[in-house]
Amino acid sequence: MKFLDLAKVYIRSGSGGNGCVSFRREKFIEYGGPNGGDGGTGGSVIAEAVEGLNTLIDFRYQQHFFAQNGQGGMGNNRTGKDGNDIILRVPAGTEILDEDEETVIADLTEVGDRVVLAKGGNGGWGNARFKSATNQAPGKANPGQPGLDRTIWLRLKLIADAGLLGLPNAGKSTFLSVTSNARPKIADYPFTTLHPNLGVVGIDNAEFVVADIPGLIEGASEGRGLGDLFLGHVERCAVLLHLVDGTSEDVVGDYETIITEISNYNEVLGDKPRITVLNKVDSLLEEEIDEKRQALEAASGGRVYTMSGVSREGVDTVLRALKAEISMDRLRIKKEEQGDEDEEPWQP
């Protein structure tokens, strides 16, 4: 299945049915009167996050979604049938944007989240609604309200606990393949990863989801390489795992390139907790490992782990560090959700 994380969609809610002008005419009935029914309500366009989807590929082949119109009212006080709603089924983590691609209409982060994107028009009143003591035979009815036309954008941001960052060929896909059942493409040339990959990683009886995105290069925020198109997929992560290629001649320069690009993308991503790892240490001598690790620690201002995805040296240590950061983030979210419940009741 092809990965698609951005789609433009045209939607239209149903128009309401017109009210009916009708009068009672029955044999042997002396007195008639108005009996025109109301029109039905038009269908609405609704977006819902569902299970089993991780791409917006369905919206590549169908971009237009029109809800059903309401049926017109009928005689004998019969109300027209309401139009059927239409539901856009999207993956959890989908942002719905207005036509300007900036205004966020809704953010469906959990399965079951729903939002009405275009409400159907109300049905018009039939002439029975206008009957009064001074107007015994009204000859008017209201038309139904028209539906709403709208253009929206769907943007998918994958739901993951940890995100992988690094230059092309830093070893991100190798790390994901040796720590999970994911099987991303691995090769000895840059940009082997062309779309994000997800993997479920387990360590010490705990599991979390790791997202691997295509590598960044200098100038990605200006559109070089694959640009920063996929950085949105790590915005929701609790922690970022920054892999630095240990075989590079300038590890500090590589580190600063990635930090500059994510900071240019947005401040939120630049301020996220990061774990820095010197990767591919199986190809280095002990003296080189110490020298490059110390240089990275001076540049990052924090601890730098050493790891080799191929030989699995130091992998478990890195996974435990990720687990600790993710647990802290989950605990923080839980406290925020239960903050109001934990407050002690007021006492005089």
pLDDT tens digits, residue range 184-194? 666 555 566 66
Asked whether the beta carbons of 274 and 296 are under 8 A apart, the reply is: no
Asked if residue 146 and residue 14 are part of one domain, the reply reads yes
Q: What pTM was computed for the model?
A: 0.74
DSSP code of residue 234: G
Q: Yes or no: say if 33 and 75 are a contact pair by the CB < 8 Å rule.
A: no
Highest mean pLDDT among 25-39, 60-74, 204-218, 256-270: 60-74
Q: How far apart are CA 201 and CA 287, in angstroms?
A: 32
Residues 122 and 212 in one domain: no
pLDDT of residue 186: 65
Write out pLDDT tens, residues 155-181.
Answer: 888 778 888 888 888 888 888 888 887
CA dist 2 and 16 (Å) reads: 39
Is 345 domain-assigned? no
348 part of a folded domain: no
Whether residues 151 and 203 fall in one domain = no
**Which domain covers residue 218, as residue numbers?**
162-337
Query: Are 52 and 95 within one domain?
Result: yes
- What CATH number is associated with residue 231? 3.40.50.300
Written as one letter, the residue type at 202 is G
Reported as a single tens digit per residue, the pLDDT across 306-347 is 888 888 888 888 888 888 888 888 788 777 777 655 555 556
SS3 for 159-227 is: CCCEEEECCCCCCHHHHHHHHCCCCCCCCCCCCCCCCCEEEEEEECCEEEEEEECCCCCCCHHHCCCCC
Instruction: For residue 283, give the DSSP letter.
Output: G
pLDDT tens per residue, range 203-245: 888 888 888 877 777 766 566 655 566 777 777 888 888 888 8
Do 191 and 231 lie in a common domain? yes
Let me know if residue 125 belongs to a domain.
yes
